[in-house]
Amino acid sequence: MTTDALRGRVALVTGGSRGIGAAIVKDLAVAGAAVGINFRERAGEANALAEQIRTAGGRAMAVQADVSQGDAVGRMVERVRSELGPVDILVNNAGIAIFRGLDDLSEAEFDRTIAVNLKSVFLCMQAVLPMMRQNKWGRIVNISSGAARGAGSIGPHYNASKAGLEGLTRGYADRLVKEGITVNAVAPSLIETDMMKGQANIASRIPLGRFGRAEEVAKAVMLLIDNPYMTGQTIALSGGMTFN
Q: Residues 39, 110, 158, 172: which is the catalytic one?
A: 158
Helix and strand counts by DSSP (H, E) for the chain? 7, 7
Beta bridge partners of 184: 141
CA distance 217 to 200: 19
b/e for 101-120, b at 16 or more Cβ within 10 A?
Answer: eeeebeeeebebbbbbbbbb
Beta bridge partners of 140: 90, 183
For this structure, is 158 an active site residue? yes
Beta bridge partners of 159: none
Question: Which of 55, 49, 57 lies closest to 22, judged by CA?
Answer: 49
Beta bridge partners of 13: 37, 91
Catalytic residues: 158
